[in-house]
């Protein structure tokens, strides 16, 4: 197992610290996975991160962006990072909290699943290979009055004003009134907590068919479990872990059987071990002809550096892997 070392980097100092780190280790050529949060939280200062990344790329030191965030396909995030930093970032170098969902495609490939969160949760799951997926926005829109507070909301989600949508609403792509939801995937931070907590309790309590009697709980997955995260606001904001706590507390109060779930994302040790495996694959792509493929495949990193801006998630996760 490689030696994991961590470097805590507050957002306003992350670029300088990252550059110092790369300069001190360029001769040792130690492999460095990067994070989307440190130095990239907020749009200010992102350009400062480009110089050390260019240096790392020139030295052919494999690196990746490891983030609990997401809500968009990895190839879109790679294009965004490439544009912002002026550095060519491939989709393989972007690891979102929901990236491990790919490994669950065979289990749920032809089952109806619901994707939750901001951005494009359904598109993310569809790109992974899930064939029958609806966002919670679309799914809840087919059930009249499932959200009793909807009339009091000044915004509308998942309900564009067009004839095509109205036709689809009259004839959903899947028989949501008869077909049970077989899995729920929280892809990114939920937007409408009140509605989502209600709808998820309905799905999870009824065996995947809201409005019916009690049933076995469908599998539930979270792409992250961080209680708080640093955003543009001076103090930390509630993250997906807070939403999970709220859902679990409510579900356990109204059901006899406790909520069952699986959480991915940092600080889960699996995430860091998976990142090491991805780095090895990146090395194989960087040196396709320089040595026999089996020798590259057997390569083990002596040291992997983790640069993070959240000690509770980034640094704590690395310490668990050691």
| Beta-strand pair 94-95/65-66 | parallel
For CA atoms 156, 160, 162, 164, give the dihedral sign. negative
* Cα–Cα dist 58/55, whole Å: 5
Would the pLDDT of 17 be above 50?
no
pLDDT at 207: 97
H, E, C per residue of 144-186: CCCCCCHHHCCCCCCCCCCHHHHHHHHCCCCCCCCCCCCEEEE
Residue 22: CB atoms within 10 A of its CB come to 22
Q: Please list the alpha-helical segments (H only) found in the chain.
A: 14-25, 47-58, 74-85, 105-108, 121-128, 136-141, 163-170, 193-205, 240-254, 269-286, 293-297, 316-321
Collapsing DSSP to helix, strand or coil, 8 comes out as: strand
Structural domain spans, the chain: 3-97+266-321, 99-263
Cα→Cα distances 68→184, 237, 266, Å: 18, 14, 6
Lowest mean pLDDT among 199-203, 225-229, 246-250: 225-229
Q: What is the pLDDT of residues 294-307, one digit of tens each?
A: 555 555 677 888 88
Cα-Cα end-to-end distance for the chain: 8
Q: What are phi and psi of 274, to 5 degrees?
A: -65, -40
Structure tokens, 28: 């040792």
| DSSP designation for 315 | I
pLDDT at 266: 87
pLDDT confidence tier of residue 165, bands split at 50, 70 and 90: very low
Q: What is the pLDDT of residues 57-103, one digit of tens each?
A: 777 788 899 999 899 999 999 999 888 888 888 999 999 999 999 99
Q: What is the pLDDT of residues 133-151, one digit of tens each?
A: 999 999 999 999 999 999 8
What pTM value is reported for the model? Answer: 0.80
Would the pLDDT of 169 be above 60?
no
pLDDT at 14: 33
pLDDT mean across residues, the chain: 80
Lowest mean pLDDT among 15-24, 250-259, 293-302: 15-24
pLDDT at 22: 38
pLDDT at 298: 53
Structure tokens, 27: 């001769």
Q: What is the pLDDT of residues 264-288, one digit of tens each?
A: 988 888 888 888 889 888 888 877 7
Tell me how long the chain is.
Answer: 322
Question: Averaging pLDDT over each range in 10-14, 218-222, 317-321, which range is the top one?
Answer: 218-222
As its CATH architecture, domain 99-263 has: 3-Layer(aba) Sandwich (3.40)
pLDDT at 51: 74
Q: What is the pLDDT of residues 231-250, one digit of tens each?
A: 889 999 999 999 999 999 99
Nearest to 272 by CA among 78, 100, 37: 100
- For domain 3-97+266-321, give its CATH number from 2.160.10.10, 3.40.50.1000, 3.30.930.10, 3.40.470.10: 3.40.50.1000
pLDDT confidence tier of residue 26, bands split at 50, 70 and 90: very low
């Amino acid at each position: 197992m490689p030696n994991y070392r961590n470097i805590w980097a507050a957002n306003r100092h992350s670029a300088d610290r990252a550059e110092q780190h790369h300069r001190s280790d360029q001769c040792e050529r130690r492999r460095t996975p990067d994070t989307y949060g440190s130095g990239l939280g907020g749009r200010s200062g992102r350009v400062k991160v480009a110089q050390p990344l260019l240096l790392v790329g020139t030295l052919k030191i494999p690196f990746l962006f490891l983030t609990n965030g997401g809500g968009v396909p990895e190839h879109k995030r790679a294009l965004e990072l490439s544009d912002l930093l002026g550095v060519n970032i491939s989709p393989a170098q972007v690891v979102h909290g929901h990236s491990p969902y790919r490994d669950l495609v065979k289990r749920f490939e032809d089952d109806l699943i619901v994707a939750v969160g901001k951005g494009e949760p359904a598109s993310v799951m569809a790109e992974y290979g899930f064939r029958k997926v609806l966002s919670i926005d679309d799914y809840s829109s087919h059930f009249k009055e499932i959200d009793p507070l909807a009339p009091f909301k000044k915004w509308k989600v998942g309900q564009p004003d067009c004839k095509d949508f109205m036709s689809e609403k009259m004839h959903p792509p899947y028989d949501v009134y008869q077909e049970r939801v077989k899995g729920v995937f929280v892809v990114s931070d939920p937007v409408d907590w009140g509605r989502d907590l209600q709808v998820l309790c309905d799905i999870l309590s009824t065996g995947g068919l809201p409005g019916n009697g009690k049933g076995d709980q469908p599998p539930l997955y979270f792409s992250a479990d961080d209680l708080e995260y640093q955003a543009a606001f001076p103090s930390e904001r509630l993250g997906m872990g807070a939403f999970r706590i709220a859902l679990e507390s409510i579900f356990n109060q109204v059901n006899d059987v406790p909520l069952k779930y699986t959480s991915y994302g940092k600080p889960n040790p699996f995430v860091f071990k998976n990142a090491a495996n991805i780095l090895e694959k990146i090395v194989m792509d960087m040196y396709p002809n320089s040595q026999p493929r089996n020798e590259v495949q057997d390569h083990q990193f002596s040291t992997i550096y983790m640069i993070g801006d959240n000690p509770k998630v980034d640094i704590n996760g690395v310490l668990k892997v050691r």
